[in-house]
């Protein structure tokens, strides 16, 4: 904790396919909450990647619907950083079900940009441990043996 008693944290935010065109509004919410975007990546998850990301939910009744949804289009994963970033981002999201969010937290992201209980606009890590796992999922640390993002090629 710093001298004001707050803790700098990192968390994983993921804009889901239903809210992909709302990225501008969502970054404004992030900015106004005093969080910063330190990494970002747009990607389309395969079924296998989505199942791995949501492995904690594999036995839930909604698992297949969830995977169907999150693989239906591109997502934007972001590393957010700031004081108590994990809980601050979860608070911005609002309740899991967008319908409930519209009743109980009308200014939340899910109230504004989500649709229903599954199509709910965005994801946020629910703990520091989840954040560490989910950040590694989208932004794997490199080994330190040189650039890992250069394409290899054959001279022709």
Which of 58/65 has CB closer to ligand RTP?
Answer: 65
Query: Which of Mg ion, ligand RTP, none does residue 96 bind to, with CB < 5 to 8 Å depending on kind?
Result: ligand RTP
Query: Which of ligand RTP, Mg ion, none does residue 68 bind to, with CB < 5 to 8 Å depending on kind?
Result: none
In the block, residue with structure tokens 């594999």: 58
- Helix or strand (DSSP H, E) at 34: none
Which of 84/126 has CB closer to Mg ion?
Answer: 126
Which of 31/62 has CB closer to ligand RTP?
Answer: 62
Q: How far apart are CA 142 and CA 92, in angstroms?
A: 31
Q: How far apart are CA 10 and CA 81, in angstroms?
A: 4
Residue 64 known to bind ligand = no
Where do the H-state alpha helices sit in the chain?
Answer: 23-32, 47-53, 63-70, 85-93, 98-104, 109-113, 128-138
Annotate 42-80 with DSSP letters as a single string: EE---HHHHHHHTGGGTTSTTHHHHHHHHTSS-EEEEEE
Residues that bind Mg ion in the complex, under the rule CB under 5 A = 126
Structure tokens at 146: 């040189």
> Under rule CB under 6 A, which residues in 46-65 are in contact with ligand RTP?
57, 62, 65
Residue 34 known to bind ligand = no
**Which of 39, 126, 133, 137 contacts ligand RTP by CB under 6 A?**
126
67 near ligand RTP (CB under 6 A): no
In the residue annotation, 57 being an active-site residue is answered as no
Binding-site annotation, residues? 16, 62, 90, 96, 110, 120
Residues found near ligand RTP in the complex (CB under 6 A):
57, 62, 65-66, 96, 117-118, 120, 123-124, 126
């Amino acid at each position: 904790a710093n001298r004001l008693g707050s803790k700098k944290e990192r968390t994983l935010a993921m804009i889901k396919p239903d809210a992909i065109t709302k990225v501008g509004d969502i970054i404004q919410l992030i900015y106004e909450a005093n969080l910063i975007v330190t990494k970002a990546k747009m990607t389309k998850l395969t079924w296998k990647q989505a199942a791995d990301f949501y492995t904690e939910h594999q036995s839930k009744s909604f698992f297949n619907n969830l995977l169907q949804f999150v693989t239906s289009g591109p997502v934007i994963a972001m590393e957010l950083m700031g004081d108590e970033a994990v809980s601050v981002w979860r608070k911005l999201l609002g309740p899991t079900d967008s319908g409930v969010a519209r009743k109980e937290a009308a200014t939340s992201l899910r109230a504004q940009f989500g649709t229903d209980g599954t199509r709910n606009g965005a994801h946020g890590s629910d703990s520091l441990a989840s954040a560490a796992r989910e950040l590694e999922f989208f932004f794997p640390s490199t080994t330190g043996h040189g650039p890992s993002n250069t394409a290899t090629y054959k001279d022709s």
